[in-house]
Amino acid sequence: MKKNYMFTPGPTMVPSEVLLAEAAPMIHHRTPQFSHIMGEVVDGLKKLFGTREDVYLIMGTGTAAMEAAVANICSPGDKAVCAAGGKFGERWAGLAEAYGCNAVRIEVEWGNSLTVAQAEAALKDHPDARALYITQSETSTGALTDVEAIAQLTRESRTLLVVDAITGIGIHPFKMDDWGVDVVVSGSQKGCMIPPGLAFIAVSARVWEIVEACSSARYYLDLRAMRKNWENKATPFTAAVSLVRALHKSLQMIFEEGLDEVHARHARLAGAARAAVRAMGLELLPRNPVNGLTAAYGPEGMDTGDLIKLMRDKYGVTMAGGQGGLKGKIFRIGHMGYVSEEDLLVGIETLEKALKDLGYDSPLGAGLRAARETLA
């Protein structure tokens, strides 16, 4: 018998309690019963985002919220400064260009994090920029950006700070209001422990004037419609009822564990995974790593695509390979959301066996021992 485990950076493993909530009998999305659920869900999301502002649900993946954060803020011709330090940082620039904006890229080497100095220089060179778009947790490289420090640069300026926290929310602390972040987006299939299909967006009070004046074409992703419908605890269009019920349950589980403990658990898992990789004689990619995944180079001469395939097909353990220019060069161990210490140890042990199968000469068990010692 082969039991399957998933250590990808999203979608992630889903608790059985959440799956059962998703499978509950259907209810209509325009009823007091569903509005009550929506109200509790949004209250929970506010805690995750660290905000008193409403958090709006979009029926789509995280990219839908990213697109909403461009379509509602940047009019054609507006200047958007985008930190392009990975697959998802580059997505900000692609979205800005798709809406006819002047996308100014801050080129960040993959594996590095956007620095305060880089952000400060870009804002100085482009004081007329409508927004600075950054990524808290760059999933393609595992690099973490210091959002709080960069927010110090924008909170007193006319340039808005927009943050992709899709693999940050529920994994790292996030304090939208205290830090002075203007727009935050996230998604359901990461730290929130439910299947893909929901995206979230929150905006600060000073953003609404810009949203109203924005001339970009928008319909499904119109924040004005989301705000108007939320007066009745409703969405502008048909809600993904089953996913919302799943989110309702997952948020209950997160707050029962305690948000501080959830963040601490992710830090423990990340520390164990990094220790294991180093004990195997492998090199980590990011200089300032996130806690939701561990990105590392494979052994010299090994195509990590072969490693990923072997673990999945032979051992039933799914991890992720590299993207873009890192394809075939790195592997990524996802340990976000519904991942326990015991789960991670299974993943590390399997990684060691698969590396051995592919001819990598490393002491079998060194990584597992390092992970255990770190967790202890």
Supply the pLDDT for residue 121.
97
Pair 170, 337: CB distance under 8 Å: yes
Pair 133, 66: CB distance under 8 Å: no
CA distance 151 to 165: 14
pLDDT in tens, 27-39: 999 999 999 999 9
Please give the average per-residue pLDDT across 218-238, as a whole number: 96
pLDDT in tens, 183-219: 999 999 999 999 999 999 999 999 999 999 999 999 9
Please give the backbone phi and psi of residue 54, each rounded to the nearest 5 degrees, phi first. Answer: -70, 145
pLDDT in tens, 132-184: 999 999 999 999 999 999 999 999 899 999 999 999 999 999 999 999 999 99
Burial class (CB in 10 A: 0-12, 13-18, 19+), 323: middle
Query: Helix or strand or coil: residue 83?
Result: strand
- What's the chain's length in residues? 376
CA distance 200 to 185: 5
CA distance 355 to 298: 9
Q: From the CA atom positions of the chain, what is the Rg in Å?
A: 21
User: What number of H helices and E strands is found in the chain?
Assistant: 14, 14
Task: Give the predicted TM-score (pTM) of the model.
Answer: 0.97
Supply the pLDDT for residue 316.
97
Supply the pLDDT for residue 125.
97
| Residue the block writes with tokens 């589980």 | 253
For each of the domains in the chain, give its residue range(s) and CATH number, in order of start.
17-255 (3.40.640.10), 259-375 (3.90.1150.10)
CA distance 129 to 144: 24
Residue 127's pLDDT band (boundaries 50, 70, 90)? very high
